[in-house]
Structure 1
């Protein structure tokens, strides 16, 4: 059915096969061939089926790599989508994805960044290209680049500084993605922690919430920052309070004074604060 004349049949067959956790190599080859069709639904269904495979055989990965050089942006996009589920990629494919980060099509840049998401050790060239995308004019590209960086738990300070700026991005989901990546860092430099502490006092709802969540990845915050987080529990809103509570809850040990401040809020008239 993957070779049926009707594109609707090929599309449905690919969608059905996508529900299977492990597919034989011959079927995988047929799915790869569907990525060449210029019918969007067929390409999308085939890409999703391939993406759901936990580990694609080397032969299939090589076939996909060859299609990354296709002249059609739709084919390249479909291949990038298919590769999103692979946490380990051969160097040739990884390098091809890094090149696609500079593609003229915004959805191609976003998809290439998504492919790198989850990789715990990206080469310097990839990190540099992703940082450039943090300033992309398309919010979806910025967000994908941030999540791609989220696989790294020890990013250099110059990248962290850019991520902090994105906490005030005009698109809230980009700000959340930046907070997610910052929270995953094993140890934030003091300068970054100070930047985040300042954002706790921002007048908008987004930056304080994102900054508090980002601080939750650090297990021993200074007392003055803890005090600011307690204030957010009391005077914040429904968006900032959960993030402040999360950051306080991740601390390895809270000072007695902070514990007393939190305890006093258990009697607060507002049930949301309690």
Structure 2
């Protein structure tokens, strides 16, 4: 059987274009429907599911709060808990006062003794008095304190060690001195005041005190004939 295409080319192009248009419209409608469906799901999730979840959380919080309020001595329990949480901070904030004895032992010559010691960690000052065999020994102690340095070694985040040094004491002053007649071993009395770097008493830092070799006249390398600390002498009552 023989068929003849009697439609002109223009008519064929029109038919193809119309079919393509119908296809585009159909796809657009499907995509628009999907978009509307997604928006409806999101709207439902935000306005229904999420609100319900938040309401449930608020309800749970209220119930737990009411339960805590009914606990006996809850305020005391919370206060103790807060204090326990602050223990580490308080420990790190307190000065390592026990280091003072080691520091003084390193800067005190073998022929100088300390009678009384007063330290103010609030303003970083110290004052002490005692006896010595001579004023020269007291001056040696003052010079040793002036040249004393602290050494701090820490590890950084990269694992490398860094060393920090600085003057341990400053404003070291011989406030007073006197020579007592009749005292054979230690005739000189003195009083010294000084400031110190608070870092040397930081309990969280490991500090070492370094004394220049030329200034070492202390118990660390010299035998001490008398104790570092000596009690203040008091007069005995006369026999009746």
Give your verdict on TM over 0.5: no
Structure having the larger proportion of residues in helix: 1
Greater C-alpha radius of gyration: 2
TM-score w.r.t. the length of structure 1 is 0.21
Higher relative contact order (CA 8 A, sep 6+): 2
